[in-house]
Amino acid sequence: MKLRDIFTTALANTMRTKLRTFLTVIAVVIGAFTLTMTSGIGAGINKYIDAQVDAMGDTNQVSVMPAQTMDANVGLTAGEPQEYDPDAQGSVSDFGIPSMDEDDIEEIEQIENVEFVDPVIFVNIEYLETPDGTQYTVPSAGFASEQSMVEYAAGGPGSNAEDAYELVIPTSWLSAFDIDDVANADEVIDQEVTIAAQDLEGNTETIEASIVGVAEETITGAGASPIPSSGLTQQIAEINNTAGGTTIPFTYIQATATVNDLAANEDQIKADLEEIDMIGQTVEDQMGFISGIIDAITWVFNGFALIALLAASFGIVNTLLISVQERTRQIGLYKALGMTSGRVFTLFSTEAIVIGLLGSIIGIGLGSVVGMVGNALLINGPLDSVPGLSLYAIEPMALLVIALVIIGIAFLAGTLPARRAATKDPIEALRYD
């Protein structure tokens, strides 16, 4: 019997007991479906993360912060605008965040291969007042003059000029200007808003600013809250750090260092930063943490899928053992007609492979369809405010590996029944009733 004949015979034998085969295949489908979904979700989110990294512009930048920052408990909020409550405001003099001063910035600038250092100024905006007079709370945050990590739905970044008081708002803030559709984001450009800030004595001063851009929010947090221009940031910081007409020196929570050929000098830069008690993180470092969490979650769910496949393998063993028992006389006839034990083993192993193949095709196909449809419904529905979001992606090589793993498990599960069939004595088998 040729291999082709063995396969067609195995397929026919598998279809003889349709209900039993169907129930066994269903168990395999569940495992294949879960593996396909988790693999696709992991691939989709990692694809989105990679796209965000590519969109961040200059990849030769390193975020620098004091080493103590990694142990600090800092929580900044962003998202939909919240109306201002004067009784809920905290102190502007103590943010509880490790900081750097001008000497630290100069020390970073002296590091070899560092071309430019852009300090991040931590400022506290008391409230933002829209043209209709409504006041909104603005999350306290750090701002740098460099805004290359932001994508824009309308307009662009604020000017770096010291006398330019400009502001970029996130898409989630369009509702504060009675704009419901991001497609109409350009309507907010050039509108004037009032920015209020408190000095160290609790006195409030206001600054008139013009909206110049609308930022799309990303998984990195870029564009998640209003972004003042360099001049506006400096002005707010001066107010925050003034008491009795005297402005105290600025402190910085972070700085962005532009490095010459980061790919070649990354290790040297990080080592030199550690010597001055600083930590340097590239974009890949920051995004790698998120990607690592996604991969860990994916592997956990893959583990559950493999458990389901292990359970399915016992179903395959049971199905084929019953099949061997029911077809004992047929096995004896095969051997009497000259079929070798090896061919008998191959025949029953192929039946196990057919079950695995059917389960993998149905499970992978179903998982791919559900994943793509679910992805389209989510990114065009509840998650449409996140530009470029991808929650599911099909990777042909990953699907091929899943199919091969399932078929391999099915083959291993079929070896016990196949061996029992191959070792049957033909005479005893022909006598079986």
Secondary structure of the chain in HEC code, one letter for each residue: CCHHHHHHHHHHHHHHHHHHHHHHHHHHHHHHHHHHHHHHHHHHHHHHHHHHHHCCCCCCEEEEEEHHHHHCCCCCCCCCCEECCHHHCCCCCCCCCCCECHHHHHHHHCCCCEEEEEEEEEECCCEEECCCCCEEECCCEEECCCCCCCEEEEECCCCCCCCCCEEEEEHHHHHHHCCCCHHHHHHHCCCEEEEEEECCCCCEEEEEEEEEEEEECCCCCCCCCCEECHHHHHHHHHHHCEECCEECCCCEEEEEEEECCHHHHHHHHHHHHHHCCEEEEEHHHHHHHHHHHHHHHHHHHHHHHHHHHHHHHHHHHHHHHHHHHHCHHHHHHHHHCCCCHHHHHHHHHHHHHHHHHHHHHHHHHHHHHHHHHHHHHHHCCCCCCCCCCCCCCCCHHHHHHHHHHHHHHHHHHHHHHHHHHHCCCHHHHHHCC
Contact 183, 385 (CB under 8 A): no
Question: Pick from 420, 341, 418, 335: which is nearest to 10 by CA?
Answer: 418
d(CA 243, CA 237): 12
Amino acid at 251: T
Stronger pLDDT, 79 or 185, i.e. the higher one:
185
Q: What six digits make up the tokens of 267? A: 């290790």
Average pLDDT, the chain: 81
The pLDDT, as a whole number, for residue 128 is 92
Q: How many Cβ atoms sit within 10 Å of the Cβ of residue 265?
A: 18
Q: What six digits make up the tokens of 237? A: 């910081």
What is the mean pLDDT of the segment spanning 143-169?
Answer: 77
Q: Name the phi and psi angles at 156, rounded to 5.
A: -160, -170
Stronger pLDDT, 75 or 103, i.e. the higher one:
103
**Per-residue pLDDT at 433 exceeds 60:** no
**Per-residue pLDDT at 141 exceeds 70:** no
Question: Pick from 365, 348, 359, 234: which is nearest to 309 by CA?
Answer: 359
pLDDT above 70 covers a percentage of the chain that reads: 84
**Per-residue pLDDT at 256 exceeds 70:** yes
Residue 47 pLDDT class (50, 70, 90 cuts): confident
**Per-residue pLDDT at 235 exceeds 80:** yes
d(CA 414, CA 417): 6
Domain ranges of the chain: 3-53+290-431, 61-260
Stronger pLDDT, 367 or 292, i.e. the higher one:
367
**Per-residue pLDDT at 133 exceeds 70:** yes
Residue 54 pLDDT class (50, 70, 90 cuts): low
**Per-residue pLDDT at 271 exceeds 70:** yes
The pLDDT, as a whole number, for residue 201 is 86
Q: How many Cβ atoms sit within 10 Å of the Cβ of residue 139?
A: 15
What is the mean pLDDT of the segment spanning 358-365?
Answer: 93
The pLDDT, as a whole number, for residue 195 is 93
The pLDDT, as a whole number, for residue 416 is 85
Q: Name the phi and psi angles at 133, rounded to 5.
A: 95, 0
| Range in 141-150, 243-252, 353-362 with the lowest mean pLDDT | 141-150
